[in-house]
Amino acid sequence: MSLVTAIRSGDAAQLPGRRDEAWRYSDLKGVLRAMPGASPEAAAPASAAPLAEVAADNEIVVVNGRSVVERFVAAPGLARTLRLRVAAVTEGTAHSGLLAIELPEGSDLTIIETFEGVDAGYVSDFALAISMGEGARLERIVLLDEPADAISVSAAQVELSAGAKFRQTVIASGAKLQRHETHLHHPGGGADARLDGLYLLAGKRQSDLTSVVTHAGPDGTTAQLAKGLVQGQARAVFQGKIVVEEGADGTDARMGHHALLLNDGAEVDAKPELEIYADDVSCAHGNTVGSIDEDALFYMRSRGIPEAEARALLMEAFVGEVVDRIEHEPARDAVRAWVAERLRGLS
Amino acid sequence: MLSIKDLHVSIGEKEIIKGLSLDVPAGEVHAIMGPNGAGKSTLSYTLAGRSGYAVTEGSATLNGEDLLGLDPSERAAKGVFLSFQYPLEIPGVPTLTFIRAALNAQRKTRGEPECTAPQFLKLAREAAAKLKMDFDMLKRPLNVGFSGGEKKRMEILQMAILQPSFLILDETDSGLDIDALKIVSEGVNAMRAPDRAMLVITHYQRLLDYIKPDRVHVLAGGRIVASGGPELALELEAKGYDQYAKAAA
């Protein structure tokens, strides 16, 4: 049961839905009654990609699920930046794509991964397989900037080796149904993972950030921080699961998810889970869903800041914590600018 | 400067201020003293424009201009500054960013040019130096993790930079030890000017040893029940508020 099997077979019965625990809050079956036809081949969009201002050494463009390469191997040594542009240039059709990225021992890569749709009403599935050699470093910045009526599922399988450093920030603006999954296999051995998320949702958009981190060996670190703002009738889903397997002693795992609902009618479904089968571990999770602090708002207004500006400042400060954790400076600046633009639409 | 006439204010169904009239001319410092529940905080929040405080009757004007119909931010631009009893923590917003946003928002509302970043930094550095504050503290999120005394000094710093014309000090002495009280009072006294007035709201006379008022008013039961010179504060300290309980009832 998955979107990709449904797309390939054209059989909507293959879609997962609310009866499947992992898809409880993202009911693909409910939004997609029948499978649409296959997307045609298309040229890359003529417009600039999201976050285009970030310079990249390599670029892979995936249009309607198709790309020239199926595998990218990072060059060892120098820090490199790869732009991975995933675009849907079609209307009312479905497609799927996949790509493998390998980071040999000691390599250092930043991926600027963006999702966009030129036309509307498409169904997209994209799978990424990432494997990291010993001591490799990867920072992955994923921006899901899709049309409101898109149905889009993207998933990454990430295999770390000892001493690897994995950094990820997923920024989502939602769609009709938009889900990003990260499945991280953590061998421990000093490997270190950061999985952050940020969602800014308005209208009737939905966004689902799902992650499963499995600590299979001792002495691994995971830090996760997801934050979001939800307005209108939008709905956010956060499912974060950290599994510490037997023997994975010395694991240090922290998960935080914090959301602000900007009005009645907005919704957040959060499911943080820690499953711990080892003894000597340090794990914690925190989850809060609240609204903008009215007292803080009045305080700011009493100093002369108009309400809309005060709200925007508070919202920017709230989500800024996630943006600040992006290590790649040009990417951090570009994401900050994108977020500021999006916030103007929310306040 | 400030003129309040027959002000009635309710919170929900309950009337808290019941016909309050008060004039504070430019250049003067007036103290409002009163027992708990007299309506002191209601008065300060009403003047600053907090929602939930319904004015059912009366008026409040600053230099002849109506205040009560204005948004809190517009009142600030007209010169009203409420120093909070418990200043709020604003996570994620550096103090400097906050004050600059406030200053420029006020200037924009008044149709004045914005203060550039270098101009603002100079202003902030000077104000911090005068208050003997560590400038690095202003890079931290406003009031987050600050002590009670530090928060009050941040209020004074904001006053010094924003240069309001009418100050309302709501229980400014609460939570301050004597050293902090002295520093804060010095900051307030430095703001005294012929074209500026202050309303000092306090439960205790102690603060008035440091900020000398021109007039003292007793607020009880939602009304001013007595007014006098500074000696009234001393009398209250000696005799307590009981004598006014009947007058208020």
Interface of A with B in 264-303 (CB under 8 A): 293, 295-296, 298-303
* Average pLDDT taken over every residue of chain A: 95
The three-point CA angle A261-A176-A146 to 5° equals 95
Minimal Cα distance from A307: which residue of B? B73
Which pLDDT belongs to residue A315? 94
% of chain A exceeding 70 in pLDDT: 100
Note whether residue A314 is domain-resident: no
Residues A79 and A1 in one domain: no
Which pLDDT belongs to residue B248? 56
Using pLDDT thresholds of 50, 70 and 90, give the confidence band for residue A70: very high
Which pLDDT belongs to residue A94? 97
Q: Do A314 and B98 count as a contact with CB atoms less than 8 A apart?
A: no
This prediction has a pTM of 0.86
Residues A26 and A53 in one domain: no
User: Chain B contacts of A325, Cβ < 8 Å?
Assistant: none
Where would I find the H helices in B49-147?
A: 72-78, 95-109, 117-130
Distance CA A21, CA A33 (A): 19
Note whether residue A61 is domain-resident: yes
Please count the structural domains in chain A.
2
Which of A299, A307, A313, A323 is the best residue to mutate to test the B interface, defined by the most B CB atoms within 10 Å of its own CB? A299
Specify the higher pLDDT residue, A328 or B186: A328
Write B120-127 long-range contacts (CB < 8 A, 24+): B120/B96, B121/B96, B123/B161, B124/B96, B124/B99, B124/B100, B124/B161, B127/B157, B127/B160, B127/B161
- Residue B102 has its nearest CB partner, among A295, A305, A318, at A305
Distance CA A321, CA B13 (A): 42
Residues A11 and A61 in one domain: no
Buried b (16+ CB within 10 A) or exposed e, A72-109: bebeeeeebbbbbbbbbbbeebbbbbbbebbbbeebbb
Q: Do B72 and A298 count as a contact with CB atoms less than 8 A apart?
A: yes
Note whether residue A299 is domain-resident: no
Residues A21 and A133 in one domain: no
Minimal Cα distance from A323: which residue of B? B92
Q: Which two tokens stand for residue A333?
A: 């600046």
Q: Do B93 and A313 count as a contact with CB atoms less than 8 A apart?
A: yes
User: Chain B contacts of A320, Cβ < 8 Å?
Assistant: 92
pLDDT tens per residue, range B87-112: 999 999 999 999 999 999 999 999 99
Note whether residue A187 is domain-resident: yes
Residues A247 and A189 in one domain: yes
Distance CA A229, CA A234 (A): 10
Strand B2-11 relative to strand B54-62, pairing: antiparallel
Q: State whether the Cα torsion A125-A341-B124-B131 is positive or negative.
A: negative
Q: Which two tokens stand for residue A243?
A: 């599994």
Note whether residue A342 is domain-resident: no
Residues A111 and A211 in one domain: yes
Cross-strand pairs, B32: B201, B217
Q: Do B77 and A303 count as a contact with CB atoms less than 8 A apart?
A: no
User: Is A20 a residue whose pLDDT tops 80?
Assistant: yes
Burial of B179 by CB count in 10 Å (0-12 exposed, 13-18 middle, 19+ buried)? exposed
Task: Quote the domain boundaries for residue A265.
Answer: 49-291
Which of A294, A300, A313, A314 is the best residue to mutate to test the B interface, defined by the most B CB atoms within 10 Å of its own CB? A300
Q: Do B93 and A295 count as a contact with CB atoms less than 8 A apart?
A: no
Q: For B246, what's the count of Cα atoms within 13 Å in the CB-facing half-sphere?
A: 1
User: Is A111 a residue whose pLDDT tops 80?
Assistant: yes
Last residue of a domain, one of A242, A271, A291: A291
- Residue A304 has its nearest CB partner, among B73, B88, B97, at B73
Using pLDDT thresholds of 50, 70 and 90, give the confidence band for residue A12: very high
User: Chain A contacts of B87, Cβ < 8 Å?
Assistant: 299
Chain B contact for A1, CB < 8 A?
no
Cross-strand pairs, B199: B30, B168
Going from the first residue of chain B to its last (249 residues), give the mean pLDDT of each consecutive group of 10, the final group possibly shorter: 96 94 96 89 95 95 96 97 94 94 96 95 93 91 91 93 96 84 89 95 88 93 92 85 69
Last residue of a domain, one of A261, A291, A321: A291
User: Chain A contacts of B93, Cβ < 8 Å?
Assistant: 313-314, 317
Minimal Cα distance from B168: which residue of A? A302
Residue B218 CA, distance from chain mean position: 17
Residues A19 and A118 in one domain: no
User: What's the CA dihedral at A275, A278, A280, A282 to 10 degrees?
Assistant: -20
Residues A63 and A95 in one domain: yes
Note whether residue A301 is domain-resident: no
Residues A15 and A68 in one domain: no
Note whether residue A233 is domain-resident: yes
Average pLDDT over residues A261-266: 94
Distance CA A62, CA A231 (A): 31
Q: Do A296 and B88 count as a contact with CB atoms less than 8 A apart?
A: yes
* B152 Cα to chain A: minimum distance (Å): 14
User: Is A144 a residue whose pLDDT tops 80?
Assistant: yes
Backbone angles phi, psi at A52, to 5 degrees: -60, -25
Residues A158 and A12 in one domain: no
Residues A113 and A27 in one domain: no
Which pLDDT belongs to residue B242? 80
Which pLDDT belongs to residue A97? 97
Note whether residue A106 is domain-resident: yes
Among A340, A338, A328, CA closest to A55:
A328
Question: What are the strands of the beta sheet with A252-261, ordered from one edge?
Answer: A58-63, A79-88, A108-117, A137-144, A165-172, A192-201, A221-230, A252-261, A282-290
Instruction: Kindly state the helix (H) or strand (E) to which residue A282 belongs, with its residue range.
Output: strand A282-290
Last residue of a domain, one of A241, A261, A291: A291
Minimal Cα distance from A316: which residue of B? B92
Range list of β-strands (E), A47-136: 58-63, 71-73, 79-88, 94-103, 108-117, 123-132
Residues A88 and A19 in one domain: no
pLDDT tens per residue, range A146-182: 999 999 999 999 999 999 999 999 999 999 999 999 9
- Residue A296 has its nearest CB partner, among B49, B72, B90, at B90
Residue B237 CA, distance from chain mean position: 22
Among A30, A4, A340, A40, CA closest to A198:
A340
Distance CA A301, CA A304 (A): 5
Please give the ipTM for the structure prediction.
0.95
Residue with tokens 């924009």: B108
